[in-house]
Amino acid sequence: MSLIVVGTMAFDAIETPFGKIDKTVGGSATYAAYAASNFVRPIHQVSIVGSDFPKKEMEILRKRGVQMEGVEIVPDKKSFFWSGKYHLDMNTRDTLITDLNVLENFNPVIPDNYKSAEFLMLGNLMPSLQKSVIKQLTTRPKLIVLDTMNFWMETAWDDLREVLNLIDVLLLNDSEARQLTGEYSLVKAARKIFEMGPEYLVIKKGEHGALLFNENNVFFAPALPLEDVFDPTGAGDTFGGGFIGHIAKTKDISFENMKTGIIVGSVMASFCVEKFGTQRLKEITKEDIDIRLNEFVQLVNFDIALV
């Protein structure tokens, strides 16, 4: 069992209708690693930070089995910084600031002991860097999952199209799927995305759940109706970490098992949104996860008599 997680490790400033925080640890690879480490260890982390990134945070991740040989620390430089403000519905947000900082000169070097990993989670990052990671691996992983966002569609279209050709599962939210394909219908969008390379597509719809497509099948998982949604930042990356964590744990890349992966991802995302930043992901136990998985089963379990 080996999983590489690639992406940003960052500082975020977040404003939601319920509060505001000027500096909290975030980043796509941070959230994904927190989620995945509940299911699979070690995790080979690939990222870059400045000397301002808290050592304590690295230590917490290390204790969860997240190996840091692939995380470059650049002295006297600042970590990636992102700032966003959520609308009242908490499903939509505006990006206020994206400061690439150390990311601008990032050239990921994959340590030799990562190079034959079986599973690869390419968290949200510059598409050219996602591609560079794939190219450095000595054996092709059993499954490559990629997450991206509108920012890269707008600033790195050609690189994004290239990397899409190399992966198996694409994770997007609904507006990103529409932006990538120019199709409003998500079914038509899925068809166009399969022509771009991926064999599977997961469309995250925030509080409205997630859809999993392949050429012949579609599966829908709801999101758990939660009493408190405090901060949705990182929910998508946490979902991705839970999804790939489950697949890497079970080593089963069938559509049926991906369905379970979607539920596991949704469970992990449901914890993420309950507090600011990564706070809630640090607190939860295996028991908490199992209880919530069971709540999901109950949520969609019903009998029907067809006459």
User: Rule CB under 6 A: which residues touch ligand AMP?
Assistant: 8, 10, 12, 26-28, 82, 98, 124-125, 149, 151, 233-237
Distance of closest approach, residue 307 Cβ to ligand AMP, in angstroms: 44
Categorise residue 280: left if φ over 0, alpha if ψ from -120 to 50, beta otherwise.
alpha
Distance of closest approach, residue 267 Cβ to ligand AMP, in angstroms: 15
Q: Output 125 or 145, the one with its CB closest to ligand AMP.
A: 125
Tokens found for residue 138: 């000595």
Q: Output 28 or 67, the one with its CB closest to ligand AMP.
A: 28
Q: Output 125 or 289, the one with its CB closest to ligand AMP.
A: 125
Distance of closest approach, residue 24 Cβ to ligand AMP, in angstroms: 8
Q: Output 67 or 278, the one with its CB closest to ligand AMP.
A: 278
Tokens found for residue 210: 């997630």
* C-alpha dihedral sign at 171, 173, 177, 183: positive
Which whole-number Å values give the CA distances from 161 to 136, 173, 196, 240, in the listed order?
19, 17, 7, 20
Name the residue whose CB lies closest to ligand AMP.
Answer: 26
Distance of closest approach, residue 273 Cβ to ligand AMP, in angstroms: 9
Q: Output 12 or 118, the one with its CB closest to ligand AMP.
A: 12
Distance of closest approach, residue 45 Cβ to ligand AMP, in angstroms: 14
Q: At which residue do the structure tokens 């080593």 appear?
A: 251
Letter for the amino acid at 194? F
- Helical packing angle, 255-272 and 28-36, nearest 10°: 110
Distance of closest approach, residue 26 Cβ to ligand AMP, in angstroms: 3
Distance of closest approach, residue 254 Cβ to ligand AMP, in angstroms: 26
Distance of closest approach, residue 220 Cβ to ligand AMP, in angstroms: 20
